[in-house]
Structure 1
Amino acid sequence: MTVTAGEPPVPAALTSAVQRWREQGKPVQPPIHWSREAWRRHFPSQHAFLDALPERIDRAEATRHAADATTPEGAERAFLAAMIWGYGRVGYGPWRTARVLTTNPDAVDRLAEVAVVAREQGGLAAFRDLAEKPLRYLGVAFGTKYLRFVTAARSSDRAPILDAVVRRWVSTHTGQHLMIDAWRPAVYAKYIGLLTSWAAELGLATDTVEELIFRSAVSREGSGQWSEPWAGSRSPEQRAQAALLELEQLFDTAEAEQAQEARRHLDELERLIRQCWTD
């Protein structure tokens, strides 16, 4: 990944998050709890795999199960691990994951093909590949989670996750709107350019920057499945932002047209909220 000239400087919020993280000894992102029985109900053929997973899953665990993603069997396990990590205790996670695998003919073969592209050509190339032949019901938010773990398992060129949490943080702190309602390679390339530029300035890996953005965002807004020890009390504005984020995350696996329409309205609401507290 190369640095793109003319990118916005590192936002103050990111600089602060990095400083807090370093002061605390660079703690890893906490693992998440998940409902084993819920996933077992939707994936009866994967009971042995699911039973072998720990009760809490972190990025390292999901990465470990992506090592063999270039084969159909390995791709299915890698996809399940990524989705379990991504959804956590969200009740509709197993159903939505099963919908991706059952609605698309040869879904696991397609996931394995994408893994090959990711390993050989990088995350952006794999993103483009998915854009050319997308899997129905697999949106950018959860698709890039799969790409992140697939690339992290066998490459130093890790594909960064781009989901509702990160999208809204970037919008708030740079004014740039990264549309994730559909697979848009130009948007993902722009996002990679941002992270690569900031990572170079901060002396960090690109995917570490993405992780710290996510952790900072959910601790500040009190939303999502993660929490951080530096999270404090929230202001009315932060509570409003958290509510918007919770709504946006509902559209991560929605149909593209529905997600696009909904996110446009949410962006306008966010603009009005910011205006209320700055006027």
Structure 2
Amino acid sequence: MPESIDRAEATRHAARSTTPEGAEAAFLVAMIWGYGPSGYGAWRTARVLAENPRAADRLAEVALVARDRGGLAAFRDLADRPLRYLGVAFGTKYLRFVTAAQSSEPAPILDAVVRRWLATHSGLRLNIDEWRPAVYEDYVALLTSWSEELALTADTVEQLIFRSAISQEGSAAWGEQWAIAADAAMPPPARKAHAMLLELDRLFDTAEVRLAREARRHLDELARIIQQDWAD
């Protein structure tokens, strides 16, 4: 493994994801990419693999569905038989790299960062506390329509949303160099608060459904208050 992992590296490791051994390796790399330097990432990833019987086999099954029928079908398959402790945010990270390795149409990631950006900039509020195929289908349809207008792929549009969101929220782990000026315009207390909210969101991405649902409305309200205070 290299010292740093980008999307291309994670995609390369997903090339053999249709076998249990390859799927487990692809999943590990996707989780390393997704969690970054977070101290709880290793424990949460191990929990998915340890507390789901034949987890690697199940991940390989999903990869086969993704290869043969596409990302939407793979999402529906996971919704029908989800892996415990693997939520939409990190599940779609796995799906993204598996589909990118198997086809020319990667399944776009839908996590808390993208969800919050969409709520702020488009008014679209997506419930990702559970595996809801209809919600993901609406999300993919929206990205597809934007991608056609911009002459980009839906996956590229998701990446642009993600980079914009994390840069605005002041995440030291994920911020883009080209957007540092925009981040600098935010007062230091607001930058710190946004970074804390991002970390909390990532924690609840892999929490039990009941806990995530209870926390989500409070996190959304905190984000709204911070944004309003900054604007004022």
Q: Which TM-score bucket, shorter chain as reference?
A: over 0.9
| Aligned partner of 1:262 among 178, 198, 215 | 215
- Quickly say closer, same or farther: Cα 1:117–1:54, change in 2 above 3 A: same
CA distance in 1, matches of 2:185, 2:38: 23
| Residue of structure 2 in register with 1:94 after alignment | 42
Q: Where is the helix percentage greater, Structure 1 or Structure 2? A: 2
| Residue of structure 2 in register with 1:134 after alignment | 82
> What percent of counterpart residues are identical?
71
Query: Which stretch has the larger CA shift, 232-241 or 69-78?
Result: 232-241
Query: In the TM superposition, what is the alpha-carbon distance from 1:169 to its structure 2 partner?
Result: 0.6
| Residue of structure 2 in register with 1:23 after alignment | none
| Residue of structure 2 in register with 1:235 after alignment | 186
CA distance in 2, matches of 1:175, 1:274: 14
Q: Is the 8 A contact 1:221 1:234 kept in 2?
A: no
CA distance in 2, matches of 1:88, 1:145: 13
Q: Is the 8 A contact 1:220 1:234 kept in 2?
A: no
SS at match of 1:129: helix
Q: Which runs of 5 or more residues in structure 1 are unaligned? A: 1-52
Residues 215-256 of structure 1 show CA distances to partners (whole Å, capped at 9, x for unaligned) of 111112112622212212042455543332222121111001
Query: In the TM superposition, what is the alpha-carbon distance from 1:76 to its structure 2 partner?
Result: 0.6
| Residue of structure 1 in register with 2:198 after alignment | 245
Residues 251-279 of structure 1 show CA distances to partners (whole Å, capped at 9, x for unaligned) of 11100110111011111222333444556
| Residue of structure 2 in register with 1:163 after alignment | 111
Opposite residue 94 of structure 2, the aligned amino acid is Y
Q: Which runs of 5 or more residues in structure 2 are unaligned? A: none
Backbone CA RMSD of aligned residues: 1.5
Q: Structure 2 length as normaliser, TM-score?
A: 0.93
What does 1:189-228 align with in structure 2 at a 5 Å threshold? 189-223=137-171, 225-228=173-176
Q: Is the 8 A contact 1:224 1:246 kept in 2?
A: no
CA distance in 1, matches of 2:9, 2:23: 15
What does 1:99-110 align with in structure 2 at a 5 Å threshold? 99-110=47-58
SS at match of 2:177: coil
